[in-house]
Structure 1
Amino acid sequence: MTSTWNELAVYQPKVLKLLANSIQKNRLAHAYLFEGSKGTGKKDISLLLAKRYFCQNPSGYEPCHICRNCRRIDTGNHPDVHIVQPDGLSIKKSQIQALQEEFSKAGVESNKKLYIIEHADRMTVNAANSLLKFLEEPSSSTIAILITEQVHRIINTILSRCQTLSFQPIPPSAIREELEKHEVPSRIAHLVSYLTNDVEQALEISRDDWFAEARAIVIKLYEVLWDRKGQAPLMIHTQWMPHFNDKEKQDIGLDLLLYIYKDLLSVQIGNDKQVVFQDLLQQLKQHSLQITQRNLLKKITLVLDAKRKLHANTNPQLLMEQLVLTLQEG
């Protein structure tokens, strides 16, 4: 089941307000382009708009969610709602032609039709040209919704025929609240909310035992670097590398370490509410008194530099060994 208007308005208030105004004034556009990063609610809001468009018992701008049309859209079985997804790596001309053929027929139950094209940036040139002809001759009762994470790859002639709505990254506070609704421990929810703005991905990460252990290893490395410096290279060999055993995981590990040092900086400038590792707050307050801001900024720069080198195909173990040696110098 898709979310309600109020639930999604927490994530995308500007988008939902604009659509609500258009619905209330009966001025929905014939073509929309929903653009924004992954996990920002583009597909959910597309389906919500579809439900409102076909709902038999709407209340203002909100669909009822329980009528036959709403339930069929929830299950993907409404005959006049069509979703096009990439066939393999791209959306092909034949897929757009099949859509056009379908829309040339009378609506199954009314004259209304709505189609959603996911990853619209993956249309081949021929597919995009076919769609362009479709958009140039809009039916008053047809709504097109194009979804993309790569708006710069949409050709200008399509952009000019769509009303573009930009979806903003979901704030960490909203993700944290959603995770806590799913009984994710507060310390994990708080941290994960800063790692991704995709609620589904956040839930996946927070339920992964690997991540809980990763968090513990990063905290231990930080503590070793603080007061048992000689043990850091051994820890990299015995605990860090076995756990962070590919580049994607290494990157997450470095992000977590970076957040601890940034938390120290937040504490130093009196911004405790911005601290990501809230359960370490008292320890961080003690440490913040023992390090200069200049030294702390140097450590943050070192971790950022390690992240850059990681993506430049540097050997991960040598990279981490070098990083801890330089971090423990200060």
Structure 2
Amino acid sequence: MDWNQMWKEQPTVMNMLKQSIEKDRLAHAYIFEGMRGAGKKHTAWLVAQSLFCPWQQEAAPCGSCSECMRIEHGNHPDIIVVEPEGASIKKAQVENLQKELTYKGMETAFKIYIVNDADRMTASAANSLLKFLEEPESPILALLLTENVHFMLDTILSRAQKISFAPPSTDTRTRIYQEQGVSEAAASLLARLPDETARGYNEEGTDWIVQGRALVIQLVEEVHSRPHQMLLTLQEKWLTHFKDREELDIGLDLLLFWYRDLLTVKYGQQDLAYPDQKEVMEKQGQRMPETDIANTLQLILDAKRRLRANVNAQLLMEHLLLRLQEGS
């Protein structure tokens, strides 16, 4: 992703960085925080290109000189990247980073280090980095990237400038999941789930989402066309698939997305969580006024709130389906 593309995705972030680069007022350390897919890594590399590119104009790197190309391919000797080893970033990794940064830059006097998933530093690693953030020994720029800024030490947060990235568009998130091999059906749903919910889905997890998706389609059809069947489906399929409160909350989200799609189709828009069900929704939408759909959405949101209040899951779902059926 080049400078102009990133500007379209994150105009506020890019404008802030552009002004700092042009005025030579970059802080010595930044925390880039935001959801996966927001462009934090792309932006970190673009900042590095901007600082090393001899042909940059208005902070935008040329993208084609030898400096830009080496940075793009991860081959610049004065840029160091730290990634988690296994589940965490360990103290030894930070100590190795500090050692590397004590050496003069191979080609410039300036060095950049990028820490991906900075929230995954162990306590000892974070404390080692803290001392280095306070007293850098040479011209150094630190870029700490995280999806979970609330897991980072307050002392580190206080010594770096935080830049918050806007959430990526649903289309962008869907594309990211598809690039990871997730099916279109699962990707369009995962893209709409909270990041902390969707992050851990491996192949088995996406199969679970796809099965849950099929249950939503079946249950909605029964609510509106075969109400005598819906409580049996709830008992035999829904409650055995969405087993605990956390899973049931996701099931209610999937149900919520269906009725949001109904409104979306009514308004003639295309951004659907269930894109392959558009024709079904058009027919269903013809039978449901907008006010009824809005009431249905409110009923589902109320059910999500009651679920968090430890209401019996089966009774909650039975009550919800009966209310949905009354409004169909």
Q: Per the shorter chain, which TM-score range?
A: 0.7 to 0.9
Among residues 143, 154, 157, which one is paired with 2:141 in the alignment?
143
Shift of 1:38: 2.8
> What stretches of structure 2 of length at least 5 have no aligned partner?
none
1:67 and 2:92 correspond:
no
Amino acid at match of 2:46: L
Residue pairs, 1:109-188, within 5 angstroms: 109-138=107-136, 141-172=139-170, 175=173
Match of 1:43 in 2: 41
Match of 1:33 in 2: 31
CA distance in 2, matches of 1:158, 1:209: 39
Shift of 1:110: 1.9
Does structure 1 retain, via aligned residues, the 8 Å contact 2:35–2:168?
no
Coordinate RMSD, CA, aligned:
4.3
Cα distance change of structure 1 residues 61 and 140 upon mapping to structure 2, 3 Å threshold: farther
Does structure 1 retain, via aligned residues, the 8 Å contact 2:262–2:282?
no
CA distance in 1, matches of 2:222, 2:62: 56
| Secondary structure, aligned partner of 1:45 | helix
Match of 1:80 in 2: 78
CA distance in 2, matches of 1:176, 1:98: 37
> What stretches of structure 1 of length at least 5 have no aligned partner?
none
1:300 and 2:297 correspond:
yes
Shift of 1:145: 0.6
Cα distance change of structure 1 residues 7 and 244 upon mapping to structure 2, 3 Å threshold: farther
Shift of 1:216: 4.9
Q: TM-score, normalised by structure 1?
A: 0.74
Does structure 1 retain, via aligned residues, the 8 Å contact 2:260–2:297?
yes
CA distance in 2, matches of 1:82, 1:180: 29
CA distance in 2, matches of 1:14, 1:273: 27
Cα deviation 1:258-299 (Å, max 9, x = unaligned) = 1233455678xx85549746725532432323x8x4x65664
Cα distance change of structure 1 residues 227 and 38 upon mapping to structure 2, 3 Å threshold: same
Moved more, 11-20 or 306-315: 306-315
Q: TM-score, normalised by structure 2?
A: 0.75
| Secondary structure, aligned partner of 2:30 | strand
Amino acid at match of 1:258: L
CA distance in 2, matches of 1:328, 1:242: 22
Shift of 1:161: 2.4
Cα distance change of structure 1 residues 85 and 241 upon mapping to structure 2, 3 Å threshold: same
CA distance in 2, matches of 1:89, 1:325: 45
Does structure 2 retain, via aligned residues, the 8 Å contact 1:4–1:62?
no
Cα distance change of structure 1 residues 212 and 150 upon mapping to structure 2, 3 Å threshold: closer
Q: Work out the percentage of aligned pairs sharing the same amino acid.
A: 45
CA distance in 2, matches of 1:136, 1:310: 46
- How many residues are paired up? 321
| Secondary structure, aligned partner of 2:285 | helix
1:15 and 2:17 correspond:
no
1:255 and 2:253 correspond:
yes
Does structure 2 retain, via aligned residues, the 8 Å contact 1:86–1:122?
yes
CA distance in 1, matches of 2:215, 2:123: 48
Amino acid at match of 2:143: I
CA distance in 2, matches of 1:123, 1:167: 21
Residue pairs, 1:160-309, within 5 angstroms: 160-172=158-170, 175=173, 193-195=191-193, 215-236=213-234, 240=238, 251-264=249-262, 273=269, 276=272, 279=278, 280=280, 282-289=282-289, 293=291, 299-304=296-301, 307=304
Shift of 1:327: 3.6
CA distance in 1, matches of 2:247, 2:127: 41
CA distance in 1, matches of 2:10, 2:268: 27
